Amino acid sequence: MVYLSGYGQNINEVREKYLLALHDCQYAEETYEYILSIPKPTAQIFAYRGALEAILTKTTWNPFKKFSYLKDSKLSFTKAVNMNPNQLEIRFLRMAVQYEIPTYLGFSEELKEDLEFILEHCIQFDAQKYSSDILNEIIGFVDKCQYFSLPETKRLKNILTKTS
């Protein structure tokens, strides 16, 4: 079990709640409130917070509120990367979120940086620390985004499916 900040918060629980909200945005607000309640959040928590703020854009029709969520998301990801710039999970999350945001909105500036970072450091990724659901989500993103060449995609999938 991986605990956060000594407060008994389990990163795996955060990941599970995030996946639920990702696939059904009706859980986004509840999950977001849960993450906001975590005392002394780690860089990973800020990254999940940023990802949830992006998901929250799907819960409102108000364009000003959507833009506000995107700004908050960018700030949360910036904080996460500043706190732990070498964390692959944070980079994957930010890249996945920025991939989904139309580039004309100006919230996708770090896509190339994250892509290069992931390719350079992916060998350090420890797949054993993640549930199969999270790993499948990352693999699905790698397939979907088409930013990775076929050899890069195969290499990433090999690393992501390595269990020993």
Global pTM value:
0.89
44: pLDDT strictly greater than 70: yes
Q: Residues with Cβ < 8 Å from 148, sequence gap 6 or more? A: 115, 119, 142, 156
Ranges of H-type helices in the chain: 11-23, 28-36, 43-55, 63-83, 88-100, 111-121, 132-145, 150-160
What is the tens place of the pLDDT at every residue in 154-164? 999 999 887 64
* pLDDT for residue 98: 94
Task: Please tell me which residue, 6 or 46, carries the higher pLDDT value.
Answer: 46
What is the tens place of the pLDDT at every residue in 110-152? 999 999 999 999 998 888 888 889 999 999 999 999 899 999 9
